Amino acid sequence: MADVVIMPKLGFDMAEGTLVRWVKSEGDPITKGEVIAEIETDKATVEVESGFSGVIRRLLVEQGSVLPINAPIAVIGALEEDISKFVAADTSVVAENRPGVVDGRVDQTKSPTDEPKNTMKSSGQNTRQRISPLARRLAAEKGISLDTLRGSGPGGRIVRQDVDALEAGTTPLQTADSMTDKRVGLSKLRQIIGRRMAESKQKVPHFYVTRAYKVERLLDLRTQLNAALPEGEKLSVNDFVVKAAALALREFPNLNASQAGDEVLQHNSVNIGIAVAVEGGLLTVVCREADRKPLRLISQEARQMAGRARSGKVKPDDIEGSTFSISNLGMYDVDEFIAIINPPEVAILALGSAQETAVVENGVLKTGWRMKATISVDHRVSDGAEAARFMQTLGKYMEEPIRLVVG
């Protein structure tokens, strides 16, 4: 029996997605688990795997189509199987979302690139030149064309010195007033980040708790472990923090939770979201059950998911299901910062860099390594005392890192 592939729901708040590219074509064989298409959500471009095996009988939508979740996008079945009932049932849904689908199938004579695009015109198109009367007269007298000349006067106005410079074959010096502003469109990802973070700050009552950790032992242990690991598999400081936070969260289910109206959903699994800087914004990849995984596996998974995120090839499981997030700017020599909670999560941990500094221990002045971390917490779910206890428990693992290896 034929099966219908639908627009998947790849996030708790996903309402629609864009079918960016078909990886398979009509008539191609496909097995369960093979990538059939690339879908763009409000977070990333995701490779979508087929849930069925068979032959791709129909592609119901064009590349570039914007569709609601659960909308049919393809039919998979046996080569000679009658699929007319599936096509007939699906056409009405597809047609509402995108032209270019004829009788339930993609119009192969028209590609997305044939459609007119809403693009910004360059500054040189349909723009009236501003020329001073003197410059216009001088140009006419000397037979100089000003059609392509960019003026150095206010707002790009062509003035006498521009004509003189053009005649002499030199470039006039532009003044500050002559430099025009540049409008740069926000990427879709940046727009989504802005909207979600603005909603978080407006609706979620944040509070913050900061603590500095002694990390000499952690750095020493990392050096020892990395000496035994091959290139490409070295552990990062962030890997240790992910493991430490995951273990600490076992004791604080109220922070490993999601806010849901008047209830708090405490999660059984500890899935740590790791913020990754990508072109045009930020993505959070998810290390699942981090409390149960060894450091080396956490490091391997984080490295692979971050690579896919930066190349725009994340998988659905890479970016969904986090229960607590970590944002680390330590690689930029940042002392400390605060992060905005990513709803429906109720907390996020922000990490600064490990820094060598002067410390006093037992009345003795010496140097030591310290790293500051700040937790942002939803005040509807928790309070300062609980957050402080969590930070204290986190310190137990950060400052005694052998627990991360044997725990």
Positions annotated as catalytic residues are 379
Element (H, E) at 135: helix 133-142
Describe the chain by its helix, strand, coil percentages, rounded to 5: 30, 30, 40
Q: How far is CA 220 from CA 227, 325, 404, in A?
A: 11, 26, 14
Name the nearest CA neighbour of 39 among 76, 64, 75, 2: 64
Q: How far apart are CA 150 and CA 169, in angstroms?
A: 14
Query: At a CB cut-off of 8 Å and minimum separation 6, what does 123 contact?
Result: 180
Radius of gyration of the chain measured on its C-alpha atoms: 29
Q: How far apart are CA 292 and CA 247, in angstroms?
A: 8
Q: How far apart are CA 320 and CA 55, in angstroms?
A: 29
Q: How far is CA 400 from CA 220, 240, 242, 273, 397, in A?
A: 11, 11, 15, 23, 5
Pairing of strands 35-40, 101-102: unpaired
CA atoms within 13 A on the CB side of 171: 4
Q: Which amino acid is at 232?
A: G
